Chains A and B, each alone.
Chain A
Amino acid sequence: MLAPLLLLVVGVTPAPPRFDQSGRSIGAPLSDRTASYVLEARYDPAKRHLTGTARLTWTNRSDLPQGTLWFHTYWNAFKNSESTFVREQRRAGAARASTGRYAGEDFGWTELRSARLPDGTDVRSTLRWERPDDGNPADQTVFTLTLPAPVPPGGQVTLDLAWEARVPKLAARTGVHGKYTLFGQWFPKIGVLEVPPQRGVRTPTWNCHQFHATTEFYADFGSYDAALTVPRTMAVGAAGVRTGRTENPDGTVTHRFHQDDVIDFAWTAWEGALEVSDVFRSDGLPEVGLTVLVPPEARRTAPHVLAAAKVALEHAGRRWLPYPYPHLTLVAPPIGANLQSGGMEYPTFVTVYARTDPAQPRDSLLWEVAIHEVVHGWWQGMVASNEFEEAWLDEGFATWATTEVMNAVGLDWDLAQFLPPGTRWFLGPLLRSRIPERDIRPAGTVPRFESSILRPSWRFKTGGEMGRSTYGRAAAALAVLEQEVGPETFARLMRTYAERWAFRHPSTDDFLQLASEVSGKDLRPLGNALFRGTAGLDDSVTGLRCAPPRPPSGFFDADGGTPVLRAPRAADPGGDVRCEVLVERRGDLPLPLDVQLTFADGTHLRRDVPPGELWTRIVTERPPPGGRVTLAEVHPGARPTIDTSPGNDARSLDATPGPALTVGGWFLYAAQLLAAAVGSLL
């Protein structure tokens, strides 16, 4: 009786939950639960030491017996300066990878102590380090164990793994920063046995890559149960639903969590964190409990993070798939730990950013990163693509989805919000702006890219190029597909993709196949050009000029056919004005290119540039003054976001001194200020 009354008061009818209050699914499982874990860990922050056990239950989904199992030990990426992660980070750089500045004590490691089968057999002695990607003998981020008897097709194996680890100094979403520790990819984790037709494999194949400076993760779905023991002074936030909290006689507390049907489990132990709770409620969508952990000095972050998370849950839940999980934890790291550990997605557990003085009413930095990480709950959390090999399938999708959500709530970037408190009062007016999310992450700066979007993340030339390609450029490429099929079809396409591939592992080809099927248009050629090619786009109007036609001169046939020299005459004042427009295509992306000319009398002329042509010249002759071309545009009204220089998509006949003087004036002013500043030191 109480429940309907409450609903009447609140006015919201949520959908029935998919999981109970202990994180266990109600009804049929959402996923195949190939790899499930019961984790127990004890963390001693004073020694930066972790002792753990994991009972892994793994199912052989293939039709071949499997005697050798592949595992990740991600933390060995931080073991020493010779790991593949640290070497790559030194060579090509990567976001969030401060391992280059590690000194002796900063490094960390994971060491497998035993791996027992139910009959007590310890297969630890069969451990073999594997380096499938680069053969680096110093890398210990992948190992195999060989079982005395293979797991039969469709069979299951249970392994009790015991390990110890030294927690590294905070880098790449993992480690210690003061009283805050983030545990990501922290337990020995089994790789993915890909089974045909999964991601195009022809035979059952282990997909278990080394930990690279630019890669993230790939895992099977399963149930996770965790008992995490830490000193009583520490707050704990973790994936899934909190199922218990036990005080131990030794001054520690064991925190228990559970969640079915997820691909990973991450957590934080943090002395001094503030915990703020809330609930997401919306008609027809399941309720989601929300917990934000914030540093006390940035407590004002919490309302921003909660509001942004709700907006994302609402939009994504309606557009793609209702968020099925009952709880979502968002960690806003302490100041000093944001760049290394903020902005990371794990299922039902994400890290965002914290600011001591958020801009009001909506801090775009806090909102953007929270929205981005929450929508990852769909793109990779549920639609579990391979982030090692096809990072764009989650980062490009999440970037595109973030733009969607931000547009839906009218949120743009205001660069003034980046200013630190104390400078906003006088620098604020300088940077105040409204820049759409789409433009903050441009596709690139040159019309030919250095790498295809679709490639393993460690095979980009630099970390920066990997980031640009898999985030902004991939999102722009999705927007190109959206333009190609129209917004309604594209919305349907994305929903179908989420519904069909949730709790499975799609590839780029699976996406393009589905996109073609839903749109009724073969999108694979364009998709392959966008994701497998390096072609970019910079369509531009490079010339527009009008002049009266030159009067004819030279020899002309007189009556009877004799060439006669005609005396030059002034142009006919009533004659046509001749305008020439030059359109150039600097990228090779095979998109249709249409041009629109606007005449002084307001009429328009449209032309298509033939496919394959890199330039075209359009000449018009019409009577003045209305026949003058005043404006020439490419892609009128539908600018492709992948265009690397959108500013040159239109050209006017009249000069526009305003923008040139605005930019030039600012340059000059900035140079003057710089000269004055240097001068004051002389």
Chain B
Amino acid sequence: MNRLLEPIRVGFGEWRTVAVLLWANWLVAGLMVAPTVPTVWAAFGHAPLAVGKPLVSSELLIGLRPLFVGGGTPSVGAPLLLLVVLQTFLVGGVVWRASAGGPFRLGAFLGQSGRLVGRNARLYLWLLLLLGVAMLVPVGLAALLHVLGLRTIFTMPGETWIFGSPFGVTSVLHLAVLGVALALWRLSLEVGRVLIFRDDLRTTRRAAWRALRLVLRSPLSIVLYAVLGAVATGAALLLMRGRAMLPEGNAGLALLALGVGQTVLWTRLAFQVAGTRFAAALVQRTDAAPRHVGHLEEPVEAAPPV
């Protein structure tokens, strides 16, 4: 139990790290919605017919489509590209916080991020191969079930989402297998990042390989990591539900809802840190004889040029 609780404690305790991640999230989300601001204000800034109405109403949501006929739609592609860059950069700092502890310094955080960004990017590319392989399991399983006449959410007719019950026993079991396969991949990625940070590995291919072996040696960890992911998703869904239940209709309530919405994001990001911490603890426990420990006190200075 403590193998789950300790990372969660660390994840939520690392509030400065979460704040940095939330800032990146805000930046990306802000860029996405920025093009809509003039349209939304022009349509709703002096709109007495829409006052007091919730989002899902004829006056707001149902009336949105005509507003964007002339453009002003949200942009998605470019901000998501920025997200990829930002996230790849920031994971170095997150690994530092999850592995080393000690006082948080933004400069050190960014320094670690900068030091590791290249290797983390290459590691990610290597592990995309693993993702492809790991996905063969759920894909093959879905195909097998299909032959047996059993449907998963990926093989059922699209209309099942409206008319049927997509979450039957088979589809939920298949989703669980998919979750474990994703957990294997994701945990390997996290462990790889920890190994690169801790042992200052230069060869990312070797790091990926070591990480995979380490993870495969501890199947329980994969399951626990999947459970951690499920807990994170459940917590976020509960908070999303709470946010959705808030009354709507005026500026104060809208701002309150936006604030409550941030708890959803905060929780999600804290669990992201917890996931990395889980990997760091796994490395500490299973790899008892690290070859090189040296940059806990002076992380930035110890960093070799990338």
Contact = CB atoms under 8 A, between A and B. Distances in A.
Interface in B63-108: 63-67, 69, 74, 76, 79-80, 83-84, 87-88, 91
Interface in B1-28: 21, 25-26, 28
A676 B272 CA distance: 10
Interface of A: 297-298, 335-336, 338-339, 353-357, 365, 415, 418, 420-423, 425-427, 429-433, 435-436, 439-440, 442, 445-446, 544, 631, 644-669, 671-676, 678-680, 682
B40 A429 contact: no
B254 A662 contact: yes
A665 B80 CA distance: 19
B141 interface: no
Interface stretch (B111-119, B220-228, B241-249): B241-249
A647 B63 contact: yes
A335 B55 CA distance: 31
A422 B241 contact: no
A297 B164 CA distance: 9
Contact of B47 (A336, A422, A656): A656
Given A662-B249, A673-B264, A679-B21, 15 more contacts: A297-B164, A335-B164, A421-B167, A427-B244, A429-B245, A435-B58, A445-B66, A647-B63, A649-B49, A652-B47, A654-B46, A661-B258, A675-B32, A682-B87, A682-B124
A655 B46 contact: yes
Nearest to A680: B272
Nearest to B164: A335
A357 B79 CA distance: 39
A680 B268 CA distance: 9
B60 A662 contact: yes
A354 B53 CA distance: 32
Contact of B80 (A298, A354, A663, A675): A675
B49 A658 contact: no
B44 interface: yes
5 residue pairs, one from A and one from B, having the closest CB atoms: A661-B254, A671-B29, A659-B50, A430-B244, A422-B167
B265 A672 contact: yes
Interface stretch (B132-140, B155-163, B294-302): B155-163
Given A652-B48, A656-B47, A433 B162 contact: no
A415 B56 contact: yes
Nearest to A355: B163
Nearest to B168: A422
Interface string B253-282: 111011001001100110010000000000
Given A446-B66, A671-B29, A676 B162 contact: no
A392 B60 CA distance: 28
A672 B164 contact: no
B238 interface: yes
Contacts of A675: 25, 28-29, 32, 79-80, 83
A671 B258 contact: no
A365 B162 contact: yes
Nearest to A645: B66
Contact of A665 (B48, B238, B258): B258
Contacts of A365: 162
A618 B55 CA distance: 33
Contacts of A645: 63, 66-67
Contacts of A338: 159, 162-163
Contact of A422 (B25, B165, B254): B165
A111 B86 CA distance: 65
B55 A418 contact: no
Contacts of B48: 631, 650-652, 656
A671 B36 CA distance: 12
28 contacts: A338-B162, A339-B158, A356-B163, A420-B162, A421-B167, A435-B58, A442-B66, A445-B66, A446-B69, A647-B67, A649-B49, A656-B48, A660-B45, A660-B47, A663-B43, A665-B257, A666-B55, A667-B36, A667-B74, A668-B29, A668-B33, A669-B257, A671-B28, A671-B74, A671-B79, A675-B79, A676-B269, A678-B84
Given A356-B164, A669-B258, A682-B124, A648 B157 contact: no
A68 to B, nearest CB: 43
A356 B44 contact: no
Contacts of A423: 167
Given A446-B66, A660-B41, A421 B124 contact: no
A661 B238 CA distance: 23
Contacts of A646: 49, 58, 63
Contacts of B26: 672
Contact of A433 (B57, B76, B88): B57
A679 B24 CA distance: 10
B270 to A, nearest CB: 11
A429 B237 CA distance: 12
- Among A646, A659, A673, max chain B CB count under 10 A is at A659
B69 A445 contact: yes
A567 B26 CA distance: 54
Interface string B167-206: 1000000000000000000000000000000000000000
Given A645-B66, A649-B49, A676-B269, A662 B54 contact: yes
Nearest to B29: A671
Given A656-B51, A672-B29, A664 B37 contact: yes
Contacts of B264: 673
Given A298-B163, A422-B167, A646-B63, A672 B261 contact: yes
